[in-house]
Homo-oligomer: A and B are copies of this chain.
Amino acid sequence: MAGNRAPTIYDVARRAGVAASTVSRAFSRPGRVAAGTADRIRAAATELGYRTNPVARATATGRTSMIALIVTDVTDPATAELLRGAQEAAGAAGFTTVVSDAQDDGVPQREALERALSTVDGAVVAAPHAPDTALRSLVAQRPAVLLDRMLDGLPSVVPDIADGMRRLMAHLAELGHEMVTYVAGPADAWADGMRRRGLRQAGCEYGVQSRRIGPFPATIAGGMTAAGELLRRPTTAVIAYDDLIAIGLIRALTARGILVPQEVSVVGFGNVAASALITPGLTTVASPLRAMGALGVHNLLGLLDGSGSAATDALPVRLVVRGSTAHRRRNPASAGRGSLIVSGAGSYLPVATL
């Protein structure tokens, strides 16, 4: 067991016969040093097994080359995808990523967050449901870019929800649907507001009527609850706030013997993995999550080195058509079963009324 501390630039300098600062330059800004010298230094370095010490570099420069990825739920598949994109971009740019899962706003998490923030140069934040104030206090500490959400004039990267809604409407209109129900997500969610606005516009554009129920929690359970309310006044098509609600809806409808998509078409937002696995597959709007994550760190890095605009980018979405949408049926009998009567109020699915 030799007491081998890790080699430093001084060790390399001695071995290469140059000054420590030259070694430093050779690594931190190649080109500022003569080719021959650089070679000698590199050689000495590899012989010694020298590796630059990021921590020491950080004390000297005040920049750690780390960025925080602050999320509210690593477990959420969409978040994971954002993370991956962010990770890749950060890695490619020579940045290390610190992940902070803020979850519930418990005190310990808060400390962890503070700790994380105080070591990084900036942050990319994917916290769809976090309170505005939390975000604001966060961006006060470090440059930050928001993901999948806008707030004030803060730089952010979002999916083009309006466009997604338009595509959805176009799809449903083409299938003959004349009236859709929007099953709203959390009332305070930025995305919900965007969906509502997009819904209104797209509805106009395609001559499709719409009404809204909710808000509901953005979970499968939420969707199942929503099914009950939906059936009090059914429509042939339903746009859910997100995939989880859509999945919950499909489950609850199916459980009641209502056929999806024969009797009701259901669409979601997100394109989570599960939407391809359920039966029927869920027609949904896919956000370019990976790209959003990557662009988020790209923009953040731009902010950090001053080359950046603090703008908001909206990335194009994609409509993924699966089995949960179908042409509006004029003859519900052919659907096989007709168990559409619900509750004493005795409403029917419009398509079933004839």
Closest to A113 in B: B91
Among B52, B84, B116, which residue has its beta carbon within 8 angstroms of that of A101? B84
Which chain B residues lie closer than 8 Å to A81 at the CB level? 75
Partner of A98, one of B74, B98, B108: B98
Dominant SS among interface residues on chain A = helix
Contact with B along A43-76 (1 / 0, CB 8 A): 0000000011111101100001110010000110
Among candidates B53, B97, B111, B278, residue contacting A99 with C-beta atoms closer than 8 Å: B97
Q: Shortest beta-carbon distance, A267 to chain B, in Å?
A: 17
- Given A77-B77, A98-B99, A112-B96, check contact A54 B91 (CB 8 Å): no
For residue A80, CB closer than 8 A to chain B, the reply is yes
- Tell yes or no: A346 within 8 A of B by CB: no
Q: Which residues of B contact A111 (CB under 8 A)?
A: 91, 94
| B-contact bits for A273-306, CB 8 A (1 contact / 0 none) | 1100111000000000000000000000000000
Inter-chain CA distance A284–B32, complex, in Å, is 60
Considering the chains assembled together, what is the distance between the CA atoms of A62 and B98 in angstroms?
19
In the assembled complex, how far is the CB of residue A114 from the closest CB belonging to chain B, in whole angstroms? 7
User: Does A181 reach chain B (CB closer than 8 Å)?
Assistant: no
Residues from chain B with Cβ under 8 Å of A274 in the complex: 273-274, 277
- Interface pair B80/A92, CB less than 8 Å apart: no
Cα distance A65–B101 in the bound complex, in angstroms: 17
State whether B77 touches A99 (Cβ < 8 A): no
Interface size class of A (residues with CB under 8 A): 35 or more
Given the contacts A55-B119, A98-B97, A279-B279, A108 and B84 also touching, CB distance less than 8 Å: no
**Known contacts A55-B119, A59-B59: does B66 contact A74 (CB below 8 Å)?**
no
A273 CB contacts on chain B under 8 angstroms:
77, 274
Q: Using known A-B contacts A55-B58, A74-B80, A273-B274, determine if residue A119 contacts B96 with beta carbons closer than 8 Å.
A: yes
**One of B53, B84, B112, B247 near A118 (C-beta < 8 A):** B53
Interface string of A112-140 (1 = CB under 8 A from B): 10111011000000000000000000000
Binding site for B on A (CB under 8 A): 51-56, 58-59, 64-66, 69, 74-75, 77, 80-81, 83-84, 87-88, 90-92, 94, 96-101, 108-109, 111-112, 114-116, 118-119, 220, 247, 273-274, 277-279
Further pairs besides A55-B119, A97-B100: 8, Cβ < 8 Å: A66-B119, A75-B81, A77-B80, A77-B273, A97-B99, A98-B98, A278-B278, A278-B279
